[in-house]
Structures are given as structure tokens and as C-alpha cells.
Amino acid sequence: MNKPIYYALTGLLLGAVLGAWGMRFYFDQTLGSWSASQRFLVQLGQDLKLNADQQGKVGDILKDQKSRMESLRRQWRFQVFTLDREGEDAIGRVLTDSQTDAFMMIHDRIHGQMDRFLWSLESGPTALAVAPGAP
């Protein structure tokens, strides 16, 4: 490898590592935590001059919100995944075998290689396509 390129890449990598370490150190030292919700609570406490009781109640509210938000995200991801699979199943029912093979190649080109067992809640697994190399 060319020495100037090697030194540039090494410097870039070292800068990224030191930058990440610096951010972590800053958050730990100034706001007490790397956690976004903890940093937000500390910032609210400082800016709004919350007393200990208020800080505890706001902290509980933030924990509850975070838990509820994660639950919604899991549900949303499942619903999006299901909708995506239902659409692929519906397309597969319209296509011929050779068109299905071409469709899956196009799908892989756009979305990347993956194991695919296309399914919907009504139909169950259809195994429309399996990643290349599978038996």
C-alpha cells in the first residue's frame, strides 16, 4: 500500500476512535451517562431546577415512556415486516415460475441477499423463494 494513503487511513481511523472516546468521556463527565434519556433527565434537572421529588417523578415518566415506545417499535416492525411479506406473496401468486425467479433476483438486487420464506398471516409459510444455495 502507498505510504501516504496508509498514513491518511490510519489518521482517519485514529481520529474516529478518539472522537468516539471523547464524546463518551464528555457525556459521562458532564451529564453523568451515555444514555440519552438519562442525559435528558439531567439536563431538565439543571435547566428547570427540579427538586429531588420532581426529578424522581420525571425519571419514572421517562422510563415508562421509553418502555412504551419500545413496545410500539416492536409492534410497528412486525406490522411492516408482515405487510412487506404479504405484498411479496401477492406478487408471487400473479407471476409464473420464471417470472418469480426474476422477481426474486430483482428483489435481492434492491434489498440484498437474504433467506426468504415469504409468508402472510392468512396463508402461512409459502416458501416462494429460498436464498441461492439452499437445498
Residue 63 pLDDT > 70, yes or no? yes
| 3-class secondary structure, 100 | helix
Share of the chain above pLDDT 90, in %: 21
* The pLDDT of residue 59: 92
Q: Which residues pair with 120 in a beta bridge?
A: 124
Looking at residue 31, its pLDDT comes to: 59
The pLDDT assigned to 87 comes to: 83
Structural domain spans, the chain: 1-33
The Cα–Cα gap between 29 and 42 comes to 12
**Mind listing the pLDDT tens digit for each residue in 6-34?**
888 888 888 888 888 888 777 667 656 66
**Secondary structure class of 120 (helix, strand, coil):** strand
Q: Is 124 left (phi over 0), alpha (psi -120 to 50) or beta?
A: left
* Per-residue pLDDT band at 112 (split at 50, 70, 90): low
